[in-house]
A = this chain, B = another copy of it.
Amino acid sequence: MQAPTGGLIGAIEAGGTKFICALAQVDGTIVARARIDTRTPAECFPDLAAFFHQASAAHGPIAAFGVASFGPIDIDPSSPDYGTFTTTPKPGWQGARFHDVLGPFGAPIVVDTDVNGAAIGEWLAGAGQGARTLAYTTIGTGVGTGVLRDGRSLMGFSHYEMGHIHPAHDRTLDPFNGACPYHGDCLEGLVAGPAVIKRWGTSLDKLADDPAKIDLIGGYIADLAANLVLMHMPDRLIFGGGVVKAPGLIEAVRRRTEARLNGYVSHRLLDPGLISYIVTPGLGDDAGITGAIELGRQALIG
């Protein structure tokens, strides 16, 4: 794909509460940035268009767009519905399409999930640097994982939905039934922020003085980590999101993952204690927009 190499990249990190918009140079330098509250598309999209029109007028033409968005959303570039929200319960968003608002700029548009975007950001400039296969998981309001190979996100007929795998949940040890409306005790139903609050009435970071609770949650997350190893063999696993900030949690995930695998997978990447294998993000809140800019850059280089 040919494109003006001197053009700018329009980037959007679309989240459930806010959109971060940026105009950046191809090297990633941000020249304009804005925050727009997430409302319905009819309310947000005009604000998005206005930002990019104004920023482009000030800084130059936009050569490509990169979008890292909440979902579920069609991220298959070969699909006629590419960039369209699918079966989301979020009012107004089902059937909305980023191309509706960005198409008039006449630049190529790359759309991926929020978690794939964060993975790409971390791969480019954060804790995922140097990893050929990288898994990035966020554990917050929900649970999601993106997997990259050589900096490109993997998918099947749709993006992954790893938050809904079922960890081993022994009700004789843990009678909590889970909080997922679809599955009860799937991973998201056991470890996401709302599940922790439903179970204990407070967030996990307030429970750091209760090692048994930290270990319980860490053990469920470790089932995802072990499954990621066995089913994707990533070079590194990054775990981010609000729940992971609870003191002691990442250590519990490492310990329980190592116990789960029990030496079966032997490779120099899985260091003793998994200290350098299971890590937290390096970019903090900038991972998503960094990844969105990189998605735009990938649209330029094809």
Contacts and interface: CB of A to CB of B under 8 A. Distances in A.
Contacts of A235: 156-157
Interface in A158-173: 158-162, 164-172
Interface residues of A, dominant DSSP? loop
Contact of A182 (B159, B165, B168, B262): B262
B232 A156 contact: yes
B260 A161 contact: no
Nearest to A156: B233
Q: How large is the interface on A (under 10, 10 to 19, 20 to 34, 35 or more residues)?
A: 35 or more
Contacts of A223: 166
A226 interface: yes
A231 interface: yes
Contacts of A275: none
Given A164-B264, A172-B172, A227 B233 contact: no
A49 interface: no
Contact of A87 (B164, B169, B266): B266
A252 to B, nearest CB: 17
A206 interface: no
Nearest to A236: B157
B233 A164 contact: no
A263 to B, nearest CB: 7
Contact of A160 (B149, B160, B230, B261): B230
B230 A161 contact: yes
16 contacts: A132-B156, A133-B157, A149-B154, A158-B267, A159-B233, A160-B232, A162-B230, A164-B261, A165-B230, A165-B231, A166-B168, A166-B223, A166-B260, A167-B168, A168-B168, A227-B227
Which 5 A-B residue pairs are closest in the complex by CB-CB distance?
Answer: A156-B233, A133-B156, A182-B264, A161-B230, A158-B233
